[in-house]
Homo-oligomer: A and B are copies of this chain.
Amino acid sequence: MNIIKSVFLVFAFFFLDAPMWAQNPVDQNFSDKITGQDEFPETYSEISNPIPTPVHLWQNKRQNVIGWGNTDTRYKKEEPARVGDISNKVEMTGWKGERVSAQFVVSAVKSPLELSFEVSDLVHNSNKKWRIEQRTISTGFVRYVMTDELNKDKKGACGHRNAKDFDSTLVADPIDHLTKSLLIPKNSTRPGWVKIWIPQNAFPGSYTGTLKVLDGKKVIKKLRIEINVKDRKIPTPQKWRFHLDLWQNPYAAARYYQTELWSKAHFEAMEKDIQHYANAGGKSITASIMNKPWNGQTYDPFQSMVTWKRKINGQWEFGFTAFDKWVEFIIKMGVDKQINCYSMVPWRLSFEYFDEASNSMKIVETEPGEKEYEEMWGAMLTSFAAHLKEKGWFHKTYISMDERPMEVMQETIKVIKAADANFKISFAGGNHPELYEEIDDYCLSMEESFPQEVKEERKNNSKISTFYTSCAHAAPNSFTFSPPAESEWYGWYAASQGLDGYLRWAYASWVKEPLLDSRFTTWAAGDTYFVYPGGRTSIRFEKLLAGIQAYEKILILKEEFRNTNNQKALKELEEILHLFSNNNFDQTTASEVIEKAKLVINSF
């Protein structure tokens, strides 16, 4: 622990006792040393809290508040946890192979705490030799990051934004497994996260253990953990059927970690971040095959993993070295189902290539339907197909497009099929029945839906049908201020709709300082990333994982009930899934619905 930083935090805290509204968090500069600059950025200081401490909430407290809370709450930094909401014991239920999480919370009332914690092995109630070992349990402080809010009309979060136009608050989201000890100022709250990966071969039954909370070397609280392992098994993530497609951005990683693109250091740095995607059963590899498929909308624009060269004689030449390195890396990480290649119809129809004649990059502006487009992409796809076949990847490669008008899609598909009739195609965008047949991986916006018979036919033809959320959706969503349960809701929703999975356009398109401030110049905060640098996961991401696991469990249960013709159970299952067909959270919350549904699932 860096003592200088800790002392700084204490001072910062005292300072916060004064009204702070006058201070505009937008103008606050990060320290000179950004969080990604350390070779091993094990810890870091949070951005100071723009919300003043409500001192009256702390004044009547006699002692520190320490106990288990729940995973659906983002505990506020400046407020004490309510004693009535926490307990000394957490009870969880899980299947073999499942990951289950719990959140505890510490509010420092009397004095600052040099907080750390330890978790013991969980021991089987019937036989002390049967254990869920400490090493399969991951823990981390929940950290605070700056967030904003929905657009003022509350209907969504799209469009350019100036930070000063939106309320900014610190919100609990990153799960920081690297910081081992943290100085907690007096009158502030700090949650912690415990995730248990139940071994595939665990013996069913109840396991118990302890979480010790320490102030320096002194144990200040012991909290009990109990987990009930059911005699059911969820397969390892690579075998999951949920089609998870979160777009990776290796360009953001290269910038943040200050590593050369595609260097050994770059890949090493990405390993721990991509690991979470692989462990959540990530299916799609995101590959950019031309520069700026989304017109550079992210803090770090996607460049092309394919080199484009136009020779003096007018011929095109393509290079696949970066593409190969990226795909080989991520396949090795366990994400190997499909490669989605963006984009033949980028958001700006402008294609950049190296011009041999002038030793410079040139831009050609052309669009589907034009001869130049056809020739250029014809040359590219022919060369690409040959290369993919040589690598053995052709069958899993999709030419990918998103949010383009149907007519444009149709012209584009002609060009793709002319180059190789067997090229697969993926599309995330509007609902066009004309395209159902052509699109092998079709992702609709949440409010749209495929007709039931289409979904079935697509499934029979091994075509993928999924849904996505974006800035257009007020809720459910996974902004850093969204209720965490809304990320879990996705998996349940997919199960209820008979969809194959979920897509989100940004897994880790980090902003400048993702650990400190999740706001960006467009969209609501957190839209651009799910996980944090340094292999840090987040409340949102862990909840997404919980939903995906629910999906897998539901598939397994359904199959079992059908095979055993257990109509009663099937009906119960359908009833709880029906709860998810309504995505209007005015009357209820994702958390309440999921809570109900989990009780049923766990009853089987």
Q: Is the CB of B291 within 8 A of A360?
A: yes
**Residues A303 and B359 in contact in the complex (CB < 8 Å), given A312-B321, A312-B325, A322-B312:** yes
Q: Is the CB of A303 within 8 A of B352?
A: no
Residues of B within 8 A of A312 (CB): 261-262, 321-322, 325
A347 within 8 A of B: no
A574 within 8 A of B: no
A465 within 8 A of B: no
Q: Which of B304, B308, B319, B356 contacts A319 (CB 8 A)?
A: B356
Residues of B within 8 A of A261 (CB): 312, 355, 357-358
Interface residues of A in 311-332 (CB under 8 A from B): 311-312, 319, 321-322, 325
A81 within 8 A of B: no
Residues of B within 8 A of A522 (CB): none
Interface residues of A in 514-537 (CB under 8 A from B): none
Interface residues of A in 96-118 (CB under 8 A from B): none
A294 within 8 A of B: no
Residues of B within 8 A of A7 (CB): none
A572 within 8 A of B: no
Residues of B within 8 A of A403 (CB): none
Q: Which of B291, B311, B325 contacts A321 (CB 8 A)?
A: B311
A361 within 8 A of B: yes
**Residues A307 and B356 in contact in the complex (CB < 8 Å), given A312-B321, A325-B312, A361-B361:** yes
A561 within 8 A of B: no
Question: A306 to B312, alpha carbons, bound, how many Å?
Answer: 12
A423 within 8 A of B: no
Q: Is the CB of A356 within 8 A of B322?
A: yes
Report how many copies the assembly holds.
2
- Report the nearest B residue to A289, measured CB to CB: B359
A411 within 8 A of B: no
Residues of B within 8 A of A359 (CB): 291, 303-308, 322, 352, 354
Shortest C-beta distance, A579 to chain B (Å), equals 47
Residues of B within 8 A of A361 (CB): 354, 360-361
- Report the nearest B residue to A251, measured CB to CB: B358
A260 within 8 A of B: yes
Residues of B within 8 A of A358 (CB): 251, 261, 303-304, 322
Shortest C-beta distance, A198 to chain B (Å), equals 41
Question: A358 to B250, alpha carbons, bound, how many Å?
Answer: 11
Shortest C-beta distance, A321 to chain B (Å), equals 5
Residues of B within 8 A of A356 (CB): 307, 319, 321-322
Question: A85 to B248, alpha carbons, bound, how many Å?
Answer: 81
Shortest C-beta distance, A305 to chain B (Å), equals 8
Shortest C-beta distance, A322 to chain B (Å), equals 6
Question: A251 to B355, alpha carbons, bound, how many Å?
Answer: 14
Shortest C-beta distance, A161 to chain B (Å), equals 28
Question: A312 to B261, alpha carbons, bound, how many Å?
Answer: 8
- Report the nearest B residue to A319, measured CB to CB: B356
Residues of B within 8 A of A262 (CB): 312, 357
Shortest C-beta distance, A355 to chain B (Å), equals 8
Shortest C-beta distance, A409 to chain B (Å), equals 25
- Report the nearest B residue to A354, measured CB to CB: B354
Residues of B within 8 A of A354 (CB): 307, 354, 359, 361
Residues of B within 8 A of A360 (CB): 291, 303, 352, 361
Question: A357 to B306, alpha carbons, bound, how many Å?
Answer: 9
Question: A360 to B309, alpha carbons, bound, how many Å?
Answer: 11
Residues of B within 8 A of A307 (CB): 354, 356, 359
Question: A109 to B357, alpha carbons, bound, how many Å?
Answer: 53
Residues of B within 8 A of A306 (CB): 359
Q: Which of B291, B304, B352, B357 contacts A322 (CB 8 A)?
A: B357
Shortest C-beta distance, A415 to chain B (Å), equals 21
Residues of B within 8 A of A305 (CB): 359
Which one of A260, A261, A358, A361 has the greatest number of beta carbons of chain B within 10 Å? A358
**Chain A 341-361, CB within 8 Å of chain B: the 1/0 string?**
000000000001011111111
Question: A356 to B357, alpha carbons, bound, how many Å?
Answer: 17
Which one of A291, A305, A308, A359 has the greatest number of beta carbons of chain B within 10 Å? A359
Interface residues of A in 240-262 (CB under 8 A from B): 251, 260-262
Question: A26 to B361, alpha carbons, bound, how many Å?
Answer: 33
- Report the nearest B residue to A303, measured CB to CB: B358
Residues of B within 8 A of A308 (CB): 359
Shortest C-beta distance, A379 to chain B (Å), equals 16
Question: A355 to B305, alpha carbons, bound, how many Å?
Answer: 11
Shortest C-beta distance, A268 to chain B (Å), equals 15
Question: A304 to B311, alpha carbons, bound, how many Å?
Answer: 14
Residues of B within 8 A of A260 (CB): 357
Question: A303 to B360, alpha carbons, bound, how many Å?
Answer: 8
Question: A358 to B261, alpha carbons, bound, how many Å?
Answer: 7
Shortest C-beta distance, A232 to chain B (Å), equals 46
Residues of B within 8 A of A322 (CB): 312, 356-359
Question: A531 to B315, alpha carbons, bound, how many Å?
Answer: 34
Question: A312 to B361, alpha carbons, bound, how many Å?
Answer: 18
Interface residues of A in 464-519 (CB under 8 A from B): none
Q: Can you list 15 pairs linking A and B with CB atoms under 8 Å apart?
A: A262-B312, A291-B359, A303-B358, A303-B359, A303-B360, A306-B359, A307-B356, A307-B359, A308-B359, A312-B322, A312-B325, A319-B356, A352-B359, A352-B360, A360-B361
Known A261-B355, A303-B358; 12 more pairs at CB < 8 Å: A251-B358, A261-B312, A261-B357, A261-B358, A291-B359, A303-B359, A307-B354, A312-B321, A312-B325, A352-B359, A354-B359, A354-B361
> Which 5 residue pairs of A and B lie closest in terms of their CB atoms, listed nearest first?
A304-B359, A261-B357, A303-B358, A354-B354, A307-B359
